[in-house]
Amino acid sequence: MPVAPSLSPFVLRRPWLKQLLTPLAAWYANAAGYRQMGLKADDLLSEENEDVLKAISRLDAKENYDRIYRIRRATQLSLQQKILPRNEWTKPEEDTPYLSPILEQVYAENQEREALNTLTVLKKH
């Protein structure tokens, strides 16, 4: 099961729609406020999901440390009801998916495992 249904293939095949929605998507990402706390979009994925936990366990040590640091800093800022100085905000070019590709691999592995578990063997005499 993917993280969320995506309309991006539909939008990317239509240049006029991409041109129309790109500024709207940028505005929405800034309005969400997670970048003002220094977070990346993948930091917002819920850790209560088994698949997300498995993907997190596959991160390298530095990326995992950076993720934990960003989340703790954002939690502290939230408790203080503050945001980071503008020069410390996550820039759009820095907000790259680091967990989603691994999560897609985990979903694919689960689907393959499910397909193999439900495999039936037919005997031919």
Q: How far is CA 66 from CA 15, 19, 23, 80, in A?
A: 36, 33, 29, 21
Q: What's the mean per-residue pLDDT of the chain?
A: 92
Q: Give the dihedral sign, CA 29/91/47/83.
A: negative
Q: pTM, whole model, 2 decimals? A: 0.81
Q: What is the pLDDT of residue 20?
A: 92
pLDDT exceeds 60 at position 1: no
Domains (range + CATH), the chain: 33-116 (1.10.1090.10)
Average pLDDT over residues 91-95: 93
Question: Using one digit for the tens of pLDDT, what is the confidence trace for 22-79?
Answer: 999 889 988 999 999 999 999 999 999 999 999 999 999 999 999 999 999 999 999 9
Give the distance between the most distant pair of CA atoms in the chain. 74
How many Cα atoms are found within 13 Å in the side-chain-facing hemisphere of 95?
20
